[in-house]
Structure 1
Amino acid sequence: MYAISLGDDGAELRPLEPWHAEEVLAHLDRGREFIGQFISLGTKETDVDSTRAMLQRYADMRAADTGSMHGLWLEGKLVGGVLFLNFHAEQGNCEVGCWLEPAATGRGLVTRAMRVLIDFAVEQRGMHRIEWVAASGNQASLNVARRLGMTRDGVRREAHPYGGVRHDLEVWSVLAPEWRAVRARAAHNDH
């Protein structure tokens, strides 16, 4: 198993596996209402078996090279995650996403973890386009896309029926050359 440090605050990025079902369920129970404002994660995962089944789907996707799910731990406690919702190696395109429980917000965890995920996608897997899709009302998610240097491609109006409302979806992306330029500027500013 790997654990990638995300900084000096004890934050780590690790794979989420089916055997994490109890820990993931406890995490979802802590943040279910907050997490579920704009995404369906946790709406069907209400017991250990359904949570394990969801984690197994992502383990199967990782094995098929079509997606993967990774947890964010803060001081040893699972507080959120990042994922490849879809991963098309042959096309060079992928979509990333995230979630976080309320107690872990405002620390830059998702931004830091997403940098690791995008670096992997671009530099190790040769992805050309990384896409981020979020409901227009989900300002926290849209702010992460901005911090990552993504460009807003457009809005899919009322494309996401969720919670009895049709939400607009914003599509953001970063292309491999743009990502490399963003990372080079960040490295330069760190020195």
Structure 2
Amino acid sequence: MRRMLFRTTLATAIFFFTIVTGTFAAEKVVKIGGAIPLSGPAAYWGICIVEAFEDAAAEINGAGGFKVGDDTYKLEIINYDTKATVADARAATTRLVEKDKVKYIYNQTAASTIGMLQISEPNNVLSMAACWGYLDQFGAKFPLHFRAEMSDYEMGFSYVPFMMEHYGKENLKTAAFLGPDDKDGQDCHFSYQRVMDSYGIKQVGT
């Protein structure tokens, strides 16, 4: 799953750089920045994503890099800790944009996404996040920002039929939602509610 996520986001980054620069004639390295929680309560999520990017980059670089036209390029992954806070995400993104000159940033958690977007969008930096809540942080207002994974809503149309098939539709009548009591959790609950309504499953608690 982590490797698939990396390859999807890498393909997006390469496409973006090709469109912007036409070729990479003046530069043989593509920098990808991570504004990622590496400490604090959300560190588990950030460390997993960082390991995926770094492992896959090492594999690609070890195989000689990747080609765009006649040129061959290597990947450089640069990560800074956001501690899953808005302020630290803003600082990490500022450093990636101003010091490291990255044009592509990946991200994890809702608070980190908010801080990142305050810097990445005005600076025309492409970004992608594994974040399911804060639905208003995606769409027309953030044209350079994308999800790295499907939201709870899309995934629900896979796992609910799976549960119905394996446990019996007659046994799947009610459901409860567990999540944080903040906007992130509320937006996730909104997605789950739509899925449950689609299958006629009654929610008994949140």
TM-score, with length taken from structure 1:
0.28
TM-score, with length taken from structure 2:
0.26
Q: Considering only CA atoms, is the larger Rg found in Structure 1 or Structure 2?
A: 2
Report which of the two has the higher share of helix: 2
Report which of the two has the higher share of strand: 1
